[in-house]
Amino acid sequence: AQKVTQAQTEISVVEKEDVTLDCVYETRDTTYYLFWYKQPPSGELVFLIRRNSFDEQNEISGRYSWNFQKSTSSFNFTITASQVVDSAVYFCALTPANQAGTALIFGKGTTLSVSS
């Protein structure tokens, strides 16, 4: 069975703090994709990143960075120097890479609140 666990339901930080959102997944597939999506208060789902299971290289994009560790089945997301605009619900998701059309399996999300 496939499963994505985001153990942190809510996180509150003050602006400029760094914050890490945890994601742990379970899958029997040997190749798969991992994703992070952002859902701001306006409600839309914004794609942030896709990571292939065979590529464990960490990625940095501006203030965002992702740490993929296959050994611990984790795909954590760090925001450096958080800003109020980062306040949103963040979802981690998983899908097998070799099954065309398979839907995403989502975690239940982590609500991040950044105060000024």
Partner 1 sequence: NAGVTQTPKFRVLKTGQSMTLLCAQDMNHEYMYWYRQDPGMGLRLIHYSVGEGTTAKGEVPDGYNVSRLKKQNFLLGLESAAPSQTSVYFCASSYSGAQYFGPGTRLLVL
How far, CA to CA in Å, does 85 sit from each of 14, 17, 23, 70, 73? 12, 13, 21, 30, 29
**DSSP secondary-structure letter at 72?**
G
Nearer to partner 1, 80 or 104 (CB): 104
Q: Name the minimum Å distance from CB 14 to partner 1.
A: 26
Binding segment for partner 1 among 18-26, 61-69, 72-80, 107-115 (CB under 8 A)? Answer: 107-115
C-alpha distance across the termini of the chain, in Å: 41
Binding segment for partner 1 among 10-18, 42-50, 65-73, 76-84 (CB under 8 A)? Answer: 42-50
Q: For binding to partner 1 (CB under 8 A), which residues are involved?
A: 33, 35, 37, 43-45, 47, 50, 91, 95, 97, 100-101, 103-104, 106-109
